[in-house]
Structure 1
Amino acid sequence: MLAVLVGGLMIGTAAASDDYLHRGIETGETAPYALHPLGREPAVNVDLWDVPPGDLPREAERLREAGFRYARQTFPWAEIEPSPDAFDWDRADAIVAALGGVGIQPIAVLAVSPDWAREPGAEAAVDAAPLELDAFGVYVGAFLEHFGGRVGTVQVWDHPNDPVRWGGEAPSAVDYGALLAVAANAARSAAPAPAPVRVVLAELAPAPDGGATDLVFLDALYRSGARPFFDVVAAVVDGGARSPFDRRVEPERTNLSRTVLFRELMLDQGDGEKPVWATHFGWAAGGPTGVGAASQAEFVVTGLDRAREEWPWLGLAVAWAWAADGPEDPAADYALVGPGGTEAPLLAELSGRAASADVAPPGWVPPGTRGEQPLALAYDGQWSDVGIGESASGRRTTSQVGAAVTVRFTGSGLNCVLRYGPRSGPVRVTLDGGPLPGSGERAGDASLLYLDRFEALDVPVALAAGLEGGEHELRVELVEPGELTFGGAVVVRELPTLWPVVVLAGVGALVIFFGLREGAYLFAQRGNFLPRRRAVELGRPLDGWQPTRRA
């Protein structure tokens, strides 16, 4: 029995180790995989509302030079619609124009209700839910109609589980869900065709005073039926005082790995095709949990690398703050630019890392549109956007012979969503400049793939597998008259084999086997199911064999 206990302990230890090391890690192709509406290039939280209009172009240029492609900015309802149906777009126009002028896409946080829309007595609160939900719907619709596709992503409210942002009252997931539904319907109705609009669930405070935690509130939102009204889940990802390789996953533990709980909750709700965005991502350099400026830079970059390699379901990781207003600003310990204009070491690290943003990590790569295209994709020739409303990411198609799409990725494999059908033409496919390994028909240094079928169908085609680590490039080119329709790609990463865990589990299983075998033998012997062992009869002792003792 001791052997069985020891073996069981070894297997249990191996299982616990495997869970600790692999929890949250996915290959990228395991269904359901998250369908990212955007690429996963660098993003940052900004507060440009009070920046003088004349300074906005320079500030936007600094963001571009740092390598950021997305900027999360609050557009306060109270400032834009100070009275019912009276809109002032001047500052919002200046911000969107400055960001768009340098190729940065805004992620618009729509919150901060005006006094006229609040319940009586809530005017002094930081934010409060509107008395009439439709009033907020009017604002959301007007916002998207005004910007006409220049803003394609909106977050509905901010920290609705915090009483401070809900008029001082105890927040309700049902009440926020109703607000979310009105806003989502208004946003989707106002979005100019064929441009899509992404609705981001409000970022939730991890543990607000007097309110439910983020995970509890999110679970209540799902149970209230809010699932159809958002496309992305937002999460605060604070590394706390712990290393990015701290893999303990607990609701009360402040670390990077806590993000896994959002993914697990969404999978439990059958909502695994939606991504998680880390709308605040970082470690504090100072303060109670501060790790110092040097470690902050190291931890953030290492954490981003770990998330890109292991979590294909995590989309944008938005740097905590671009700049702090002053030393008392809660974001000062996280900011890339300090109150005095001093740049944190983290800014240089993120800027250097931005150069690798044109290589897709494991997970979904959307096909993009003419105006929004992941850096990991390159289109040659004339392409058009089709089917935006039919899928999470749309599709792109071409009928120009010689037109091609190139995917740059890092992983062990790549699946491309291609359309088979009666109008589809043959394509020429190359991987790292040569034919696909083990492919069928070849034409010189490329593989040929025939996509003509009787029925039109979008199919994920495994074009590469079993690749060595590092960067790879796959190119698909239309070579004869017909059509080539590209619906995105899935970068695959095989899970690493942890030999110590495998060996521990194997030895434990052997110990249990031999322990059970020996126990069964003893049981059978004592129950007289087997004959007892008999001593070997050596015969009678020989007489007179001893030598005679000398006198």
Structure 2
Amino acid sequence: MSANAPLRSIAVLAAVMLSFVAPPGAGAAPVVRTQSSPAQCGGESDAVRIGVSPGAAIASLSSTDLDRELSLAKDAGAFAVRLDLDWGLIEPTRGAFDWALSDRIIDAVVAHGMCPYGIVGYTPRWARVPAAIDNPHARPADPAQFASFARTVVQRYQDRMSLWEVWNEPNLVSFFAPAPDVAAYSALLRATYQAIKQVQPNSTVLAGGMAPAETTQGNITGTTFLSSMYEQGANQYFDAFNVHPYTWPYLPNDPGTSSWNTAMKMWPMRDVMVAGGDSHKQIWITEFGAPTGTNPNSVSEQVQSDTIGIILDAVLGTDWLGPAFVYSLRDSGTDTSDVEQNFGLLHRDWTPKLAYARVDAFAAEHSAP
């Protein structure tokens, strides 16, 4: 790892910010894009690719609202939609599978000309580690059982999907109960990667996205987690690494945040990968954004837009950064005081925030058609 990596990352992001043009106004009309086949879902592309990560709430939408959300995502230039494939929901009873929700959402994404990107994750009660038996985000007791589920998922959807993520935010206590464990996650990743590749050799398999975290209260920083994975040889079992560089309420290039800023830490993470012989692998950004609203930790629509713009311009200027998925497409609720309900590019009533026009304009200029 380079000793000057944090300074280098600040410099890169600062240069990105200086290159900004004025964002389009909130009333700017979206660019109309034709639908295309999801055949362009592969892991490598010279073009900047923007996706959306709408969260689990997308599964509860009516058919009308689902069509409207996906149409707006496509109109804004999204090439892919990141979706949960929750083992606990699909196989709540061992051997009894319920594909209704995942079939519906995946088919809708494909029908809108976008690529489904599946997070294979979480655990039904019957397969959890005993220490977290009541936690739906508990890790599985047996990595082989989880890998078997992943194989079943890929067998079902291989004609529609080729992008897979193994778990989500395994560096957090809240998502890898009872506590993050690099050895346990590495074993899970190894078994699952091999199972997916046996069915779909040309698929792209990502490690679970690293959440912003400090090594405290059981959580593990993304850089430390990644370094430990390399020490265990787990890097052999991902085609791309994966980071969630949230920095709100601060901008991603704020130099005063360099001690903890996950966006800036992507450069030290890259150094770990290069030192480990993986200079050919990218870091994908499968969640990023900022919440608007009235909470003291929320940001203005302008700051949300600038946050997204900084990350997208960093991707544009950095060949080892892969696709970037905005979290999220539409606010999940109407309570403006609840941070979690207000990450959308759109308000709950479908009206666009400034960031929607910014993403649309960026995609029109820089993304593949």
TM-score range normalised by the length of the shorter chain: 0.7 to 0.9
| Residues 24, 260 of structure 1: 8 Å contact kept | no
SS at match of 1:295: helix
1:284 CA drift (Å): 3.7
1:45 is the counterpart of 2:53:
yes
Q: Deviation per CA, 1:178-198: give whole Å up to 9, x if none.
A: 00011101100111x7xx211
Match of 2:281 in 1: 274
Structure 2 letter corresponding to 1:57: D
| Residues 48, 315 of structure 2: 8 Å contact kept | no
SS at match of 2:219: coil
1:265 is the counterpart of 2:272:
yes
Kindly tell me: are residues 162 and 253 of structure 1, through their superposed partners in 2, closer, same or farther at Cα, counting changes over 3 Å?
A: closer
Kindly tell me: are residues 17 and 273 of structure 1, through their superposed partners in 2, closer, same or farther at Cα, counting changes over 3 Å?
A: closer
| Residues 69, 329 of structure 2: 8 Å contact kept | no
Rg comparison, structure with higher value: 1
1:240 CA drift (Å): 3.0
Match of 1:230 in 2: 238
1:348 is the counterpart of 2:361:
no
1:197 is the counterpart of 2:203:
yes
Q: Distance in 1 between matches of 2:141 and 2:307?
A: 43
Q: Deviation per CA, 1:443-489: give whole Å up to 9, x if none.
A: xxxxxxxxxxxxxxxxxxxxxxxxxxxxxxxxxxxxxxxxxxxxxxx
**Higher mean C-alpha deviation, range 266-275 or range 121-130:** 121-130
Match of 1:180 in 2: 189
| Residues 241, 282 of structure 2: 8 Å contact kept | yes
| Residues 219, 265 of structure 1: 8 Å contact kept | yes
Match of 1:67 in 2: 77
Match of 1:319 in 2: 326
1:155 is the counterpart of 2:158:
no
Q: Distance in 1 between matches of 2:149 and 2:164?
A: 12
Q: Distance in 2 between matches of 1:153 and 1:19?
A: 28
Match of 1:398 in 2: none
Kindly tell me: are residues 245 and 122 of structure 1, through their superposed partners in 2, closer, same or farther at Cα, counting changes over 3 Å?
A: closer
Match of 1:164 in 2: 174
Match of 2:303 in 1: 295
Q: How does 1:70-149 map to 2 (within 5 A)?
A: 70-120=80-130, 122-149=132-159
CA RMSD of aligned residues (A): 2.8
| Residues 153, 199 of structure 1: 8 Å contact kept | yes
Q: Deviation per CA, 1:60-112: give whole Å up to 9, x if none.
A: 22221222111111111111112222221111111111110111101111112
1:335 CA drift (Å): 1.8
SS at match of 1:106: strand
Q: How does 1:484-495 map to 2 (within 5 A)?
A: none
Structure 2 letter corresponding to 1:119: V
Q: Distance in 2 between matches of 1:255 and 1:176?
A: 21
**Higher mean C-alpha deviation, range 262-271 or range 135-144:** 262-271
1:357 CA drift (Å): 3.3
| Structure with the higher helix share, 1 or 2 | 2
SS at match of 1:238: coil
Q: Distance in 2 between matches of 1:271 and 1:229?
A: 12
SS at match of 2:312: helix
Q: Distance in 1 between matches of 2:309 and 2:188?
A: 36
Q: Distance in 2 between matches of 1:125 and 1:67?
A: 36
**Higher mean C-alpha deviation, range 107-116 or range 256-265:** 256-265
Unpaired segments ≥5 residues, structure 2: 1-5, 16-41
SS at match of 1:257: coil
SS at match of 2:341: coil
Q: Deviation per CA, 1:246-278: give whole Å up to 9, x if none.
A: 46784x332643321221221222211110011
Q: Distance in 2 between matches of 1:337 and 1:272?
A: 37
Q: Distance in 1 between matches of 2:313 and 2:63?
A: 36
Kindly tell me: are residues 258 and 239 of structure 1, through their superposed partners in 2, closer, same or farther at Cα, counting changes over 3 Å?
A: same
Q: Distance in 1 between matches of 2:64 and 2:179?
A: 41
Q: Distance in 1 between matches of 2:79 and 2:345?
A: 16
Which of residues 15, 21, 31 is equivalent to 2:11? Answer: 21
Structure 2 letter corresponding to 1:180: L
Match of 1:56 in 2: 66
1:234 CA drift (Å): 0.7
| Residues 120, 166 of structure 2: 8 Å contact kept | yes
TM-score of the two chains, using structure 2 as the length reference? 0.81
Match of 1:214 in 2: 222
Q: Distance in 1 between matches of 2:9 and 2:172?
A: 33
1:348 CA drift (Å): 1.7
Kindly tell me: are residues 263 and 36 of structure 1, through their superposed partners in 2, closer, same or farther at Cα, counting changes over 3 Å?
A: farther
Match of 2:23 in 1: none
Q: Identity of counterpart residues, as a percentage?
A: 25
Kindly tell me: are residues 137 and 62 of structure 1, through their superposed partners in 2, closer, same or farther at Cα, counting changes over 3 Å?
A: same
Q: Deviation per CA, 1:297-347: give whole Å up to 9, x if none.
A: 1342243124312x1110111112112322366433432123444432111
Q: Distance in 2 between matches of 1:149 and 1:213?
A: 36
| Residues 232, 274 of structure 1: 8 Å contact kept | yes
Kindly tell me: are residues 141 and 206 of structure 1, through their superposed partners in 2, closer, same or farther at Cα, counting changes over 3 Å?
A: same
Kindly tell me: are residues 329 and 72 of structure 1, through their superposed partners in 2, closer, same or farther at Cα, counting changes over 3 Å?
A: farther
Q: Distance in 2 between matches of 1:43 and 1:53?
A: 21
Match of 1:508 in 2: none
| Structure with the higher strand share, 1 or 2 | 1
Q: Distance in 2 between matches of 1:18 and 1:142?
A: 43
Matched residue count: 330
Q: Deviation per CA, 1:370-418: give whole Å up to 9, x if none.
A: xxxxx27xxxxxxxxxxxxxxxxxxxxxxxxxxxxxxxxxxxxxxxxxx
Unpaired segments ≥5 residues, structure 1: 1-15, 26-34, 359-374, 377-551
Q: Distance in 1 between matches of 2:218 and 2:140?
A: 20
Match of 1:304 in 2: 312
Q: Deviation per CA, 1:202-251: give whole Å up to 9, x if none.
A: 0122216322111111111111110110011111112434445446784x
| Residues 53, 94 of structure 1: 8 Å contact kept | no
Q: Distance in 1 between matches of 2:125 and 2:269?
A: 34
Q: Distance in 2 between matches of 1:190 and 1:67?
A: 30
